[in-house]
A and B are shown apart, each in its own frame.
Chain A
């Protein structure tokens, strides 16, 4: 085994080092593609700078960068930071559209930096921090109001005593599963929150992502917080504040429709209310007693 490994290492070494005569020859040939690489198209990236942390002056700085095939906005930012402006602040983690930390505004529309290709964005690309969030610095925003609202909507599962004892079975074809399915893939990137004009108008509004999360839990038979959560999210600053503008649905990179979730919450609140009203009449009591 060891020998085999060594052999392959040797093979790699001899391939990689241009020591032998056979490898010296193609060198001039190799220069050509490099020359071509130098002629790569460039784009101008306009980045909004400044923010709260030590650099309050808001301004746009422009950087010229060379583009490559399949280059993303995040690649462009890394290129700017490593070669031109080390102080540039932005946030990212997974680079593959899984963590939701790299969201920003590309040419005015919120998007993930890591999954937005430069192709088709034009010769001048404008990058701004997400709307509706406090800017920490440059493109990095403070996500805490967003997560505080997730908390307000009780964005976690409180298992029922039955669900605590044994794993609950929710059949893939069941109505419950089908209701929840289109809404569970949220990675809390904040794009919907940034695109929502109602969040901009009412800073207490829970926002699309928190309501979407609440919808998945309200429909979940394993969850014990049902009515409490529904009452928390179906308020003036909750589901009822939504005006069905669909900005969140149109901009969610995961294809989720928070608007649909909010409408689902409204329907649930109304049917629940009607049922209670009817039941109270049947029991001969005034509604709400």
Chain B
């Protein structure tokens, strides 16, 4: 319609193509998984409220919460001046701490339920 020449389209691989994800680094994966964990928690939380005794839901939620918090802690620390050159190390350290926290909390949790039963 207009006489203005179309500018060339921006080169962007669509998100469903693997090539769009190949240049992603750990920090990006950490972010993507945090967003996904948030979505999963939104779905699981009402189920948990309705019936708090489904073990699989409880454990999955624990895992998701720990993961979500882990990325959050990373962002908070770097926002407040944690040196950027160590951000990748921070990611891996938090991964390990997150896994440890998950197992510890899961253990405490089952002990608690055993005690209550």
Does A pair with B? yes
Q: Which residues of A are interface residues toward B (Cβ below 8 A)?
A: 51-52, 105, 107-110, 128-136, 141-142, 145, 195, 197, 200, 203, 243-247, 249-251, 257, 259-260, 263, 266-267
Contact B75 A133 (CB under 8 A): no
B8 adjacent to chain A (CB < 8 Å): yes
B38 CB → nearest A CB, Å: 13
Q: A131-B13, A247-B27 are in contact. Are A263 and B78 (CB under 8 A)?
A: yes
A-B contact pairs, 22 of them (CB 8 A): A108-B23, A110-B23, A131-B23, A132-B10, A133-B10, A134-B11, A141-B11, A197-B24, A197-B28, A203-B10, A244-B27, A244-B31, A244-B79, A245-B28, A246-B28, A246-B84, A246-B87, A249-B27, A250-B25, A251-B25, A263-B78, A263-B84
> For B87, what are the chain A residues with a Cβ–Cβ distance below 8 Å?
246, 249, 259
Q: A108-B22, A247-B27 are in contact. Are A134 and B85 (CB under 8 A)?
A: no
**Alpha-carbon separation in the docked complex, A240 to B103 (Å):** 35
B24, closest chain A residue (CB): A247
A115 CB → nearest B CB, Å: 17
Q: Which residues of B are interface residues toward A (Cβ below 8 A)?
A: 7-13, 19, 22-28, 31, 74-75, 78-81, 84-85, 87-88
> For B7, what are the chain A residues with a Cβ–Cβ distance below 8 Å?
134
> For A130, what are the chain B residues with a Cβ–Cβ distance below 8 Å?
11
A200, closest chain B residue (CB): B12
Q: A134-B8, A245-B31, A266-B79 are in contact. Are A257 and B19 (CB under 8 A)?
A: no
> For A109, what are the chain B residues with a Cβ–Cβ distance below 8 Å?
22-23
> For A251, what are the chain B residues with a Cβ–Cβ distance below 8 Å?
23, 25
Determine chain A's interface SS by DSSP, over half rule: mixed
**Alpha-carbon separation in the docked complex, A203 to B80 (Å):** 28
**Alpha-carbon separation in the docked complex, A197 to B23 (Å):** 10
Q: Which 4 A-B pairs have the closest CB atoms?
A: A246-B27, A108-B22, A52-B8, A134-B8
**Alpha-carbon separation in the docked complex, A51 to B23 (Å):** 22
Q: A128-B19, A131-B12, A246-B88 are in contact. List 4 more A-B contacts (CB 8 A).
A: A109-B23, A197-B24, A245-B28, A249-B84
A58 CB → nearest B CB, Å: 10
**Alpha-carbon separation in the docked complex, A250 to B26 (Å):** 9
Contact A247 B85 (CB under 8 A): no
**Alpha-carbon separation in the docked complex, A130 to B81 (Å):** 31
Contact A135 B11 (CB under 8 A): yes
Q: A108-B23, A247-B24, A263-B78 are in contact. Are A131 and B11 (CB under 8 A)?
A: yes
**Alpha-carbon separation in the docked complex, A133 to B27 (Å):** 23
